[in-house]
Structure 1
């Protein structure tokens, strides 16, 4: 006789019920049906009653969800490719008699050893069982645990992310084919993990394929300041119509994109200051003019695409923009002020303010094109592009911009000069690539037949590294400009077949008919590429009418999963220290760290800046076997005090916290500072060892967020969490 299937618990929502309005009957009683989620736990029930303006009451009760046999997996919150861990599973017997329990584990994305176990659980007691496992594939891992004991059974399912290796590397080449084929020489990397990555081949009939990596960079950017969120909103708003048709890994579908946009818009709205502006990190701190204009720009783009943006938020932002000159601190020089005023006019024009064009004409006459930064000229040109009364100003701006272009036979770019480049980066988040994006959009709007436009587009694309530009600002403005470029200049209706060969073997084939943003993706696994008969070249070609765009990318991870320290503007180090007992943490002879499960650990980061740095981010990845301890949460407890938190800086030496903002996330800790004097800085936080195993720890990383080529990293670490000795 076939056994009945085991009911799988997969819904672990901590909120079992939320009823904002329940009416009582004639006897003053109210009922609300509750469907208990899969968690076997104690639920707190809270009720608040109101009648009229003067009567109210509050009460509490509890509901305990339990069953005779319960199985509870306790995986870490995340894993990294290459981690070895022990999956703790608690088996609980709530009956009055001992149970002999059969356990079975099934996993995808992980390799688990000894998937079947038999344990005896005493009456009214629990037993913890450990299943050794390995993270062998990046992505989402799923674990199912089933337990049976006679007629009783239970099962639970958990999901957790498995991040790519700390040493994962990727690069790609892009191109177009109008006729024929191209051959790309190919050599598989040596000493790599055969189970990770491979050769990625993508075809498209639209050049939007060129923007995918930059778009994904903004979606996965790790930091969450107002500017970073706004840049993501800009990318989503600009590319929404084409991205919803993409079918490529990492690009969200339309429903996910809509949900993500609304969450980002709500977060931005919650960060707005009473003056209508925004600080980088927190509400209630001084508004930054550039950040405020940029966030208002993002919200207006989102509103124009039909997303729900709070009207009061836009109204306050609009008032801030109209009063921008009074909002700019006195320390800003005239060039910075002009760029900010021009950007504010650009956003006001997008908001539909007719007065923006009138003021833009006045600013061109007052400043003259030669007296303003190039990106200010670009923003004003965009405002005046469709103004019939601004022909003279438009032509003056176009002459100035054309004369400032640096051209080659195939490409062009611009170099924008401010009085002090580091100050411009601090106050305006400026870079030359952002200027290219601003000017490309302006040229398309004001002079769409200009021969300079395709050159600037090619130059902007040529400055990508690994498919994207350097910062959130550069990626956001490049995406805005190139999306407009592709929509304006792609004329030919596609009707062709695209093919890819590895050596003489056909690897991919896709047909494109009519205008579509569909994209074909083929992954040749790394195990094929490193085999004995690996190809020496890749051939890409097409047959039929229209332009074919391609992307050929290689993604891999070195076999040793180790990165050495690097100093390109910062030096960073990390050590783990015991908190409660000196024996809880040990540095082993091979350099790895051994930590006792259950122990509290102080993570100490040291960052050295040899010169002044701006918009600095310090990020420290955690091993999967540790969980950060937020001191703001009740029950975390306190750690022994630090000897002295004073930092050794060349100025502002009296500061006790060098950072302006910090985050403690599941997988990393972060600290930020807008203007960082030269000096030595220490950052510490607490974590607790929770999961036994051997974990790869990505290096600590420090960078200038808007010049990420100025960075430093520590080395890759290994942390071994050993089980507590039996008591």
Structure 2
């Protein structure tokens, strides 16, 4: 039956205000019939003036099934239907109202009135229109938004003796954009930080997270286990297995890391014994009996032989002498680049060979100097791995000539490092030929850490190195890195960092005070690869734009800390690029999906569309490094609706260019919601990524176009956004 109770005022004396617009009128999972197979139920319909479909299914004890359906039309002589956008944002002005249908059978003058709550009307709240019999017309009112919440508008209409009234609701959303700032530092006594908070922010959403530790190697582990559990076979993998036991045993002992079940010495001696099967008299091969001698591999094994000898193991001097001569021959033949090596790969290989030779006290000064000059002359910045190996060679060479290049090499290395909030990484040229020498951004970052820690262990480099270590630790999957080379390079880097900066066993008490009030106390007793993290309350500083924080430490060791502040603002924002950069482009389309006019970059200028017009939205994301777990949040203006190509109701011709053409290393999941389009990438390769979707301008008015924002889900300080924009939708031309 139809609900008859009045829902409130708004339509004049005696009017019924319709407020119940539930899409599902009734559902009953189990109804028993009488002996004749009949059943009767009663329920009240929602107040929508529409066609309801009644559907029933039946089953008997004998497993007989049936179904039936019928339609019920609910209408009135005068009918109102809401015509509002799905949402609005603070700062919007727009035209919206109702559709009015005259089903009385005679023409007449209708009066439509609007009574708002929360939302503000601009201009008249009452309009008179002439309606022919059977005619439906749109009646629009002007609105503006100045406060958030669920806005209600009561619309009431009369035409002669007939009337209708309904309550329409529209959520007013905050066009909020989260801003994350982070500080990573350390102190040996007391540090004073000042947190800058935006003036025009929503202070109730402020959040401060403080993380403290007694080491910069928080999260260490995993890589050791990976190297021992990997199904080894080739010489590179076998060598990677034993090197942690040679170069990072002190790190493992300091942090109580279990790196091996059994005798490490037996494993190293077995590796030394097996080397003969990979040696054919002129070089090492990847596999026993092989005849090809990769230069990088030979340098790698030669360096490991030096580390084994330094650790006190009995190394075959005959094999070492032969290997030194073989690697020296390769290094001296500057033009003997393997055909499949790029010039960068060859420079890295030669630098590594010269470093490995220096570890055996074989210094090729002329070759080192020539390669240093060649690297410094590279206009593209050269190779971070080559520079790292050369820097580490200088202190071994003890040469005044070579040492004169130290500062220039350090400057070149620093120029390859990209700093992003609390992380940093070494930028590796996108050279596909690097795969022959196992290169990656993670390995390059690890090698740069070792070079800085071993050759420039000052306070400035220490902070950069800490950020690089955080970057490496954030790039692990299941607690280790992607390859044996990445794992061993990271372990070597951690060993260099540990020897340079963390020789003292921490034993201290730390306190954090916010604006003079102590809010956190922590005790650090001995080394631990686990940090302590707390969320601190900022409600007492709702009216502040700057909050002083003091971190103090009493006792032995260094306090490492990170402060992350999240704030939200409704004010227009400028574009930002902190590790990620994004662009949103709007291209107008005709009804066939063809481009019309030039595209518009949102944020650079106001996007102007006609009501009903189709557009193609192109989202472009650029990243300087490979990333994991990236989200792109494309918040929509209230006057624009995204068309989902997955729905049968969407025009296939209009949405044929939606989505992304890449299937790996890019966006692998998307969601279309009323107020935004969300893109996700579990793994994002460095470079440029695009996603396209079709949208339609639905409501005339002037709307806030929120920034397009991207961030790492587990490291939101790596982020990028466009500037806040505006969308102007012109009403349809009555003459068309």
TM superposition score normalised by structure 2: 0.49
Looking at CA atoms only, which structure, 1 or 2, has the larger radius of gyration? 2
